[in-house]
DNA sequence: CACCCCACCTGCGTGC
DNA sequence: TGCACGCAGGTGGGGT
């Protein structure tokens, strides 16, 4: 579910509730997430104050006062919701973080692809260490992208989804950015000119910014920390619109499967080179 | 090394 | 109504 914009929207909503507050304790549901620390390990967070809530790619990192990092990832269906204690009984709740001031942070995840792991002081979580730069990082330029992909034949869409290259872009925003940049998802990365990389980079940044400003994309289940849906689904140009007319030229939007994921594109606006 | 496939889960919509 | 199937916003391990 959540890509960079959704995670950033969640971060902004949660930060004022978490930062500066002590974690009183944690409780756990009966099922575990795909990647979840042992209770004894996670309970080391109890008694510590949250210093800062930050984001890298699609990961949320809560830095604790003794230097631990609580790493959270929402997978496909995860939610982080803040309630006043007692938090309501909800299905698929796997972790509840009890906070100072009578607040509870609830991790709900139907599909359980999420992560919730406490890393000791001085350690960058490996999953975060291997991420590429943020799309808004100044080191990411058209020339940098061209150099990175020189001589490679990988499809552009698959490249955008690879967080080790540039972090945080998921299936929705990869499709939307490719449409905005008028590039076909199957184009080999090594074939793009520096000009085209520049166009794509601007499109990526514009789409991500717009989605954050709209509170993210809610297709079936995304909610921010206060339980609100996003609105960017109203602005989607191609994602999920197979067979519907392109908003620019009216041609039917097509769907193509790449690396097991659906790519939506306009065959006319994004003509294969 | 570069890249792809698939597992990991649950739920929902569709078509028979 | 029921059932089988395909599909879903992500990630990483293992295979080619």
What is the rounded CA–CA span in Å between residue A31 and residue A199? 45
What is the rounded CA–CA span in Å between residue A223 and residue A260? 26
Give the CA-to-C1' distance from A110 to B10 in angstroms: 6
A106 touches strand C (CB under 7 A): no
The overall average pLDDT reported for chain A is 97
Footprint of strand B on the protein (CB under 7 A): A 31, 34, 76-77, 91-92, 110-113, 152-155, 158, 189, 220, 258-260
In which band, very low, low, confident or very high, does the pLDDT at A56 lie, cut at 50, 70 and 90? very high
CATH number of A4-129: 3.20.190.10
In which band, very low, low, confident or very high, does the pLDDT at A196 lie, cut at 50, 70 and 90? very high
**pLDDT the model gives residue A45:** 98
**pLDDT the model gives residue A22:** 98
Residue A1 reports pLDDT greater than 80: no
Catalytic residues of A: 2-3, 58, 261
In which band, very low, low, confident or very high, does the pLDDT at A241 lie, cut at 50, 70 and 90? very high
3-state secondary structure of A165: coil
Fold of A142-265: Helicase, Ruva Protein; domain 3 (1.10.8)
Give the CA-to-C1' distance from A170 to B13 in angstroms: 23
What is the rounded CA–CA span in Å between residue A91 and residue A219? 20
In which band, very low, low, confident or very high, does the pLDDT at A76 lie, cut at 50, 70 and 90? very high
Q: Say if CB A14 and CB A53 are below 8 A apart.
A: yes
Torsion, Cα of A36, A40, A46, A52 (10° steps) = -30
Residue A15 reports pLDDT greater than 80: yes
What is the rounded CA–CA span in Å between residue A146 and residue A78? 34
Q: Is the dihedral of CA A235, A211, A256, A179 positive or negative?
A: positive
Q: CATH 1.10.8.50 in chain A: give the residue spans.
A: 142-265
Q: Which of the nucleotides in strand C have any atom less than 7 Å away from a protein CB atom?
A: 7-12
pLDDT tens string A122-153: 999 999 999 999 999 999 999 999 999 999 99
pTM for the structure as a whole: 0.97
A58 touches strand C (CB under 7 A): yes
* Nucleotide closest to A2 measured between CA and C1': C9
What is the rounded CA–CA span in Å between residue A7 and residue A173? 13
Residue A273 reports pLDDT greater than 80: no
3-state secondary structure of A72: strand
Give the CA-to-C1' distance from A152 to B2 in angstroms: 8
Give the CA-to-C1' distance from A175 to C10 in angstroms: 16
**pLDDT the model gives residue A272:** 82
Q: Say if CB A208 and CB A220 are below 8 A apart.
A: no
Q: CATH 3.20.190.10 in chain A: give the residue spans.
A: 4-129
Residue nearest C9 (alpha carbon to C1'): A1
Other CB atoms within 10 A of residue A247 CB: 15
Give the mean model confidence (pLDDT) for residues A16-29. 98
**pLDDT the model gives residue A199:** 98
Give the CA-to-C1' distance from A234 to C14 in angstroms: 39
Q: Say if CB A33 and CB A114 are below 8 A apart.
A: yes
**Residue A247 CA to chain centroid, in angstroms?**
26
- What are A117's strand-pairing partners? A71
A114 touches strand C (CB under 7 A): no
């Amino acid at each position: 579910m959540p890509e960079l914009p959704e995670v950033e929207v969640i971060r902004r909503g949660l930060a004022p509730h978490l930062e500066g507050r002590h974690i009183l304790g944690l409780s756990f549901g009966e099922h575990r997430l795909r990647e979840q620390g042992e209770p004894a390990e996670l309970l080391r967070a109890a008694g510590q104050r949250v210093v800062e809530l930050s984001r890298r790619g699609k990961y949320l990192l809560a830095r604790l006062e003794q230097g631990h990092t609580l790493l959270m990832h929402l997978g496909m269906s995860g939610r982080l919701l803040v309630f006043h204690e007692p938090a309501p009984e909800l299905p698929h709740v796997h972790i509840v973080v009890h906070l100072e001031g009578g607040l509870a942070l609830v991790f709900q995840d139907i599909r359980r692809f999420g992560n919730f792991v406490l890393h000791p002081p001085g350690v960058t979580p490996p999953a975060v260490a291997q991420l590429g730069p943020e799309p808004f990082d100044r080191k990411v330029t058209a020339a940098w992208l061209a150099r990175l992909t020189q001589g490679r034949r990988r499809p552009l869409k698959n490249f955008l989804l690879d967080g080790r290259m540039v972090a945080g872009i998921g299936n929705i925003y990869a499709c939307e950015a490719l449409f905005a940049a008028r590039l076909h998802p199957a184009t080999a990365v090594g074939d793009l000119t520096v000009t085209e990389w520049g166009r794509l980079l601007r499109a990526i940044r514009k789409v991500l910014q717009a989605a954050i400003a709209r509170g993210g994309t809610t297709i079936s289940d995304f909610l921010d920390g206060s339980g609100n849906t996003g609105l960017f689904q109203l602005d989607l140009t191609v994602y999920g619109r197979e067979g519907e007319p392109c908003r620019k030229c009216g041609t039917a939007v097509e769907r193509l499967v790449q690396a097991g994921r659906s790519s939506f594109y306009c065959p006319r606006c994004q003509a294969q080179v």
